[in-house]
A and B are shown apart, each in its own frame.
Chain A
């Protein structure tokens, strides 16, 4: 469960200050598929960064599964991201020198899994995202949709509490976008995976259990 109370994030110093988040409070239950929507500059990505521990709020409180993540030091936050969170970026963000399989099992290696365990988990998860036959391909040899599915597999490999996706379909055509969204829905339904996804596409709404609309750094409606 994610709990956020009065989260504020102010960028810039001195006279010019941008209030990217201006007192956001949210609760996301386990197993929910939540969409965060809003216009450009509304603060939806900033909120995702806060929940994904990629940035620290200027003020406010965030708890994930009962852990006050604001109190964690940098190393603990890194470990928390590794073990509890999965992150999918807009532009796939794969390591170009690693094959699909290697990109996926990298987080498992860091967790100390043996090569055999890594291979098993990795093959299974790549099968789930429908890339069982592309595991030895480098990112450059895969289409955008396939790369994004590898990125999703990498985010899921450590069985995270929450999957955070920052406009994962922004660089994909509608056919590949649909594949990714169907996959998210399947993961959410079958594995009860909690998913928080940022999007600005109206047609994505049908996939979400709940939508948080943001405007000017605050929640406009839920």
Chain B
């Protein structure tokens, strides 16, 4: 068996070294490109997932989200609960808030965004929204007749440019009317416009919690508390810690809150990726198959001669498998080189998605999976044509 492999390797080596270089280089290049294709799209998808995950934490949920107990509308004694949570080691910010629906009207443009009522200082310790004000300022604790809105909600004078229903290009300093769901309508001045690349923050509106409480006549309540932890990734552990400190409300992790949205996006991307992967592997198998098949058909007579002088068919088949493995190995190395080049280019000029710039994430498992797929494909594409051609009887092969 080892002797056979040695002879097969010898034949393969000589065929590669002294055979047609042009075909060899072209095949290696194609396999390299297939390898890049196998890695690139999934790495972008992983990059999108990382981006959306980070955005969920930075602009929507923090690390943990506390919501009212079952059958309750509000979390009561919020101030005491907030202080209690803030004392827990590993917690860096706690932001009680209200989330409600409201109708905002400006010069006949009416929109119904989500309205967030927040304590600006607390909010700054949990989310990054306050640092993404593109025009004007973020809210202050004392603000009562001020509202901050996302740039998508502010919109454009030319509504064709809007991606969501908007206020028609409202700007800082202009007044809008907000009608709350208890029927109260008040006028607010636009204090700032947010542009965070986060769809949630850029499409909604923010007032102070103090103002919201005055509209609804509430005190020491909230319908959501966002919690920021020192580390990301230990949310489950921190949830247990919060519970052990007596937090009886429902506690969600950011992953649980954003699961549906993210899963839908990633699910759609994965379908595209699956199709892309299958197409890439089919291209690889077809290319290697054609190259080996043409090679074996071209050498049909030579294969017949080798069999005639006593070289076993299995040795000849193995020699073509070794050639396919060589093409795979060098193709993969070339692919890695191209991939590094692309990653460098993307690091300098990132792809900007609606959620922000996406950096491709290439993990080891992705490389291993892609390499193994390509290896399997190469083995099949090397074996089948060699097996078919060597099956022919000696005299037919020799006569060509």
Task: State the A residues within 8 Å of B (CB).
Answer: 49, 52, 54-55, 75, 78-83, 85, 87, 89, 93, 95-98, 102, 106-107, 109-110, 112, 138, 154-155, 158
Contacts and interface: CB of A to CB of B under 8 A. Distances in A.
Contacts of B315: 110
Given A54-B394, A54-B395, A89-B305, A107 B18 contact: no
B316 to A, nearest CB: 11
Contacts of B105: none
A49 B14 contact: no
A155 B4 CA distance: 19
A81 B4 CA distance: 16
Contact of A155 (B10, B302, B306, B309): B309
B340 interface: no
A78 B3 contact: no
Interface string B283-304: 0000000000000000001100
Would you call the interface of chain B mostly helix, strand, loop, or mixed?
helix
Nearest to A109: B7
25 contacts: A49-B395, A52-B308, A54-B394, A55-B393, A55-B395, A78-B311, A78-B313, A79-B310, A80-B310, A81-B309, A81-B310, A89-B305, A96-B302, A97-B17, A97-B18, A98-B14, A102-B10, A106-B7, A107-B309, A110-B3, A110-B7, A110-B310, A110-B311, A154-B309, A155-B309
A49 B397 CA distance: 13
B311 to A, nearest CB: 6
A49 B398 CA distance: 12
Given A82-B309, A97-B19, A110-B3, A102 B14 contact: yes
Given A49-B395, A55-B395, A89-B398, A106 B18 contact: no
A75 B395 CA distance: 16
A79 B395 CA distance: 17
Q: Which of the listed residues B307, B308, B315 has the most CB atoms from chain A within 10 Å of its own CB? A: B308
A83 B312 CA distance: 12
Nearest to B6: A109
Contacts of B263: none
B15 interface: yes
A54 B308 contact: yes
Nearest to A52: B308
Contacts of B17: 97
A96 B11 CA distance: 11
Given A54-B308, A107-B309, A107-B310, 9 more contacts: A52-B308, A54-B395, A75-B312, A87-B309, A89-B305, A95-B306, A97-B18, A98-B14, A102-B14
A112 B309 contact: no
Interface string B235-278: 00000000000000000000000000000000000000000000
B271 to A, nearest CB: 46
